[in-house]
Structures are given as structure tokens and as C-alpha cells.
Amino acid sequence: MSEEKTEVQLLQDKLFMKKKHAASVIDDSEMQAAMDYAEGYKSFLNDNKTEREVAKFFVAEAEKRGFKPFDRKAKYAPGDKVYYLNRKKAVILAVIGKKSVGEGVRLVAAHIDSPRLDLKPNPLYEANEVALFKTHYYGGIKKYQWPTIPLSLHGVIVRRDGTEVEVSLGEKEGEPQFVISDLLPHLGAEQSKRTLGDGIKGEELNVIVGSLPFKSDSGSELVKLNIMKLLNEKYGISEEDFLTAELEMVPAAKVSDIGFDRSLVGGYGHDDRVCAYPEATAIFGLDEIPEHTSVAILTDKEETGSDGNTGLNSSYLRYFIADLAAMEGLADRDVLSKSKCLSADVNAAFDPTFSSPFEPNNASYLNKGIVVTKYTGARGKSGTSDASAEYVGEVTRILNDSNVVWQLGELGAVDAGGGGTVAMYIANMDVDVIDVGVPVLSMHSPFEVISKLDIYMAHKAFTAFLKS
Ligand code: MN
Ligand code: MN
């Protein structure tokens, strides 16, 4: 026998906001769809660990679906699909809509770079008959998290003759991997007095790459020489070629389901590939020609502040929009001022173990759907785009109308820290922007965690937005 609700309960139901677990809102078939969707994401994340690899993957997927390299001198018709690859590190995908671009375009922008350890320009050295690589970390990391985990090497080397060689070592079964050492606890008494932030210092992130000497009874640096000999045989390089290389150490661990119920996914680089992937599946999956031209941006350099010619603080997006505008005899501003954007980036999921930097009423939670973040920034909303009430209303109406499970979220409690996204760089071009993304646990660690239901909701959200 069900009990009658009291007057208080009825009024609370009517007036209070209550965000529910996505599993309690969706039906069985949608639950299955979400679980199935995650499988594609997992293999994508396993196979693509750097911005170059992700960019290459999306270009290949786009070409399979009839996307053609963007030609600014061409004339495009509704339904035409184009892509623009910026220096092999950032991609713009677009589907030309029915309406003039003068009525604005729909932009969704995610980033495809992730925190990692870049090799220094002159990385290889030998110490005590061990060969090591010096690194310079990229993006915000907690340095103590990176020793004693298997690492793999990715990147590209431009040889002196101008030819390029791509490197990926430590991912395939049986390939060697790399590691940064740490002290044993027995001898860690002095180290343990350091603060956590200094537990492992930047110049201690040295990666072990070998220990056998070149066979000779005389000479110095024989271990280094042996490594250089192996690299010369495999990649045709000498030491000087490191200067013209971009090589990155990333966690070698494979993506895995997490939990008895397999509800979560653990892996490296969810930030922000967990938004990049649904952005691509949304634009690839458009079942009819969109009203407004759809533009999916997969950018680089967000983790170091978006500067540089592959980051969104550069002009490459503006130029792309200007080219679209010029095809109709318009200026870039005619398009930008009427355009709308979702900055598709992750937010920090509330951590039940480390809850103090979160404000529970304004934090995002695993499994409560995509998180809508009105503003990011730090110290009194500095360094952010604060989306207007009108635009928040417009976007959340689209989400509600499409049965997307969503929640709101700030990046932590006031003055607990802060951060930023690409939203402000796009907003600064006079575009309406808001951050919408997937909550992540242990963000920027070598093994981040997300929810399968949340990434599925990101796919639904981006699809609905592009169709709006
Ligand atoms: Mn991010
Ligand atoms: Mn990040």
C-alpha cells in the first residue's frame, strides 16, 4: 500500500530542484545503448593517446563518411561535408547547413591534447650506467602520480634530411615500456618530509630507457651509446634529431571498465577526449542536413592555455569561419555574432573521498548526466566566459526537449582553486558559449574515471545542439 504524500512533500516535488541518477531516468533500451556506445569510446581511447593520433583518427573517420578537405575557393551546398586539419594537431569538421551562415553556425569545441610528459629537446643521458630521458611535463599534473607506472613513447621525429618518422612504442602486446623510478619506503624518510606537491620534482621525472652497454672494453657513456645505436637502427636517427622531434611519454595502461557493475571507464586522457569523441559521433551521426551549419572543433593546446597556432587562442577558427562567410559574400563577424557554441570540456566530478574542495549544491556528480558549467575561472570568476542567463536557458531547453540528463556544476568551491576552458576564447569572438561536458574523477591523473551514462548523454546533447 503506497502512502499518500504529505502537503510538504507535494510542494517540495513541485518547487525543489532534484537532479537524479541517470539510471533512474532512462529505460532499459537506453541503458543498453549507453553501454554499447562506451565500447566504441574505449577502443578509440586505447588507440589514440596524443593530439596527433587523435587528429589523424578523426580525419580518417571523416574521410570514410564522405568529408572532403576544406577548400576556401570552393562553393559548398547544404549537406556538403568538409574537414580542415591544422598542422596535424587540430581538426575542424563541418556539415554545411540549409540556412545561410549569416544566420550563425552551431559550434561544438573540445580539445584533444592531454597532460603528459614531453621529452626535452636534448633528452638522452647516462647516469650510473643507466640510460634515461629528461622530460618537461605538459599541462597540469600532480608529479608524484607519474613514477612507477608503465609509460609508452609516442610522437614524431623529423630527421636531418627532412623525412619524418612516427613513433609509438609500448602500446602493443610484447613491446617494451618505460618507467620513472621512486625511492623505496625504507629509504624514503627524507623524501617523506617533502610536501605532496614537491614529493617528486620536475627534474626528477626522468624516464629509464635502458641499461646495457655497447660491447667495448674502452670508452665512456657506453649505455647511452648502445641506446643511440638501437634508435639509429630502428628510426634512422642520431642524437641531434631529438632537437627536431616531438616525443611524449604517456601512461601505457589500457582502458578498463571499473566496478563490479562496469558502470565506469578508467583510462588515460578522458580530459578531453571524453568530449571530443561524442562531438565527432554527433556530427558524423547527423541523419539529415542540419538547419545551421554544424562545426565540430577538435583543438590542441588547451592544457597549456590555448596559445600557439594549434590552440583556440590563435586565429585558425576565425579564419575558417571567415572563409565560410566569404563564400556567401559575408564577413566573419556576420557569422560569429549570430553563432552559438558548446565548449565541450570536462568538469571535476564530486569525489566522495576528497570532498572538501567541492561545494555539494553546485558540484557535478558521476552518473547525473552531462554537466553544464556557466563559468569557470578562479579568484572571483577571473579568466572565464560567464554565459548569460538567456543563453543558459536556451541551451538547457534544448537538453530538456531532447531528454538529455544534465546537471549544473561549478569547478570546485569558491577559492578552492579553479581552471579554464576554451570557452572564453570563443566568447571573445562575440559568440554565445557555455561549457557542457562530462564529469571526471581523478582528472589530470594517469588513470582518470568517467561514467558510461554521462558520455552517452554527451553524445545526445551534442547531437541535439547541432540539430537546433
Ligand atoms: Mn579539458
Ligand atoms: Mn584539462
The per-residue pLDDT for range 179-194, each reduced to its tens digit, is: 999 999 999 999 999 9
Alpha helices in 266-367 (DSSP H): 270-284, 316-327, 332-336
Torsion of CA 240, 241, 245, 247, to 10 degrees: -80
For residue 272, say if its preceding peptide bond is cis, omega within 30 degrees of 0. yes
pLDDT in the model for residue 1: 54
Q: Is 220 in contact with 202 (CB distance < 8 Å)?
A: no
Distance of CA 308 to the CA centre of its chain: 17
pLDDT confidence of residue 67:
98
**Does pLDDT of 407 surpass 80?**
yes
Span 122-163, pLDDT tens digits:
999 999 999 999 999 999 999 999 999 999 999 999 999 999
- Ligand nearest to C-alpha 274: 1
pLDDT tens digits for 299-343?
Answer: 999 999 999 999 999 999 999 999 999 999 999 999 999 999 999
Measuring CA to CA, how many Å separate 139 from each of 132, 324, 363, 419? 22, 33, 23, 12
Query: How wide is the angle at C-alpha 368 spanned by C-alphas 106 and 340, nearest 5°?
Result: 10
C-alpha cell at position 307: 596559445
Distance between Cα 15 and ligand 2 center (Å): 36
pLDDT in tens, 44-84: 999 999 999 999 999 999 999 999 999 999 999 999 999 99
Does the pTM surpass 0.85? The reply is: yes
Cα-to-centroid distance, 22 and ligand 1 (Å) = 23
DSSP symbols for 435-452: EEE-EEBSTTSSSEEEEH
Distances (CA, A) of 189 to 63, 147, 185, 201: 56, 18, 7, 16
How would you write 385-396 as a 3-class SS string? CCCCHHHHHHHH
Q: Which of 398, 347, 353, 407 is nearest to 377 (CA)?
A: 347
In sequence order, what E strands does 300-359 have?
340-343, 347-348
Reading the block at residue 305, the C-alpha cell is: 592555455
- Cβ atoms of 94 and 451 within 8 Å: the answer is no
Q: Which ligand is nearest to the CA of 115?
A: 2
- The candidate with the shortest Cα–Cα distance to 88, out of 158, 151, 175, is 158
pLDDT tier, 446 (very low <50, low <70, confident <90, very high otherwise): very high
Query: What average pLDDT score do residues 394-423 get?
Result: 95
Strand partners, 379: none
Q: Is 239 helix (H, G, I), strand (E, B) or coil?
A: helix
Please give the Cα distance from 41 to 83 (Å, whole number).
21
Of all ligands present, the nearest one to the C-alpha of 139 is 2
**How many angstroms does the Cα of residue 251 sit away from the middle of ligand 2?**
16
For residue 136, what are the contacts with CB-CB under 8 A and spacing of at least 6? 117, 118, 119, 120, 202
Closest CA to 137 of 82, 93, 201, 213: 201
Question: How far is 396 from 440, CA to CA, in rounded Å?
Answer: 21
Ligand 2 ion: nearby residues, β-carbon < 5 Å: 271
State the alpha helices, DSSP H only, in 1-129.
7-15, 28-47, 51-64
Q: What is the mean pLDDT of residues 214-231?
A: 94
- Lookup: cell for 257: 571498465
pLDDT value of position 217? 76
CB 139 within 8 A of CB 113: yes
Q: In what order do the strands lie in the sheet with 256-258?
A: 256-258, 264-267, 448-451
Res. 2 pLDDT band, cuts 50 70 90: low
Residue type, 197: G
CA of 74 to the centre of ligand 2 (A): 36
272 touches 112 (CB < 8 A): yes
Q: Cα 274 to chain center, whole Å?
A: 6
Residue 4: predicted pLDDT? 87
In 10 A of CB 28, how many CB atoms? 7
User: Which ligand sits closest to the CA of 444?
Assistant: 2
Cα–ligand 2 centroid distance for 303 (angstroms): 5
Decide if 152 contacts 177 (C-beta within 8 A). Answer: yes
Tens of pLDDT, residue by residue over 277-305, are 999 999 999 999 999 999 999 999 999 99
Assign 230 a pLDDT band (cuts: 50, 70, 90): very high
Percentage of residues in the chain having pLDDT higher than 70: 100
Å from CA of 449 to ligand 2 middle = 13
Q: How high is the pLDDT of residue 216?
A: 81
Amino acid present at 174: G
d(CA 181, CA 149): 9
Mean pLDDT, the chain, whole residue set? 97
Q: Scanning the structure block, which residue is given the C-alpha cell 624514503?
A: 188
Q: Calculate how far, in angstroms, residue 370's C-alpha sits from the geometric centre of ligand 1.
A: 14
Residue 382 CB-density burial (10 A; 0-12 exposed, 13-18 middle, 19+ buried): exposed
Q: How far is the CA of 271 from the centre of ligand 2 (A)?
A: 5
